[in-house]
Structure 1
Amino acid sequence: MVNLSEILFWGNILSDLLNYIIGFLVSLIFGILSVGIGISIVSIAKNADVANGISLLYGMPVIFASGALVPFESSIVYFMSPYWAKQIYLQFTVMGHGLSDYLYSSSLIGYTAAETNIPILAGILILFAMTAFFIALGIKLFQKKTQL
């Protein structure tokens, strides 16, 4: 006979495993998004040194403005892709939230961060949309560069 504590134990293990799998998929989607941004940068650069400089000029401000390194309370974070990847990953893997829970405005959870009106599932869809946009933009720019 199976007791209730065993069922709860295996249920928690499976729930945590699902959260880690979703966290991995969010990281994978963000990696693909970064490749799209990289293709776009390479397409407008004249050589490797210029591409390196442009990527630093783009990447560093975006990472700081997204609140990915240091919590940043501003509405500008919603336009930065690292915010979505970081916040979804944090709330899934560290906090154990589900798809229907709401995203927090920053990683200062419990201090000054408030819940947004955006469910985590909508955040994942926004990350997918950003990925599709940057991949399409990168492909279009690269096609223009190679046709010249």
Structure 2
Amino acid sequence: MAASDLTASLTQRLAQRILILDGGMGTMLQNAQLSEDDFRGERFRDWPSDLKGNNDLLALTCPDVVARIHRDYLEAGADILETNTFNSTRLSQADYGMEDLVPELNRESARLAREVCDAVAAETDIPRYVAGVLGPTSRTASLSPDVNDP
């Protein structure tokens, strides 16, 4: 479906009822009990720092796990999937030395969510949507982390 058609479809559906957003990706990924090796995959096997906990990286190393969670949310009744990009910023990825991967992480996560939405929409004849996610960073943006001493 073309972007303009998706926008029109979304606007029409929002006028009809409240749409349901998926749930927490991080919680579901924790339930998957993935190992350090799962987070690394082949591509990052020799990465110099620990990668377990970098959930956004799973769009590259375990896309099947992320896709399954997306599908589960849609099958449970969600209308809108959030991209798995909560920490896909240069600032957050710096914790893993992966700042240069941020564009790829965002693209792949959006592509994966869109792919799952399209597949489920084709099966059910009900359009599904993708919303980008941007979480807080792992660093304070203020001059002082102490609110009592700005």
Q: Is the shorter-chain TM-score for this pair beyond 0.5, marking a shared fold?
A: no
Q: Of the two structures, which has the highest relative contact order with CA contacts closer than 8 Å and spacing of 6 or more?
A: 1
Q: Which has the larger radius of gyration?
A: 1
Higher helix proportion: 1
TM-score of the pair, normalised by structure 1? 0.32
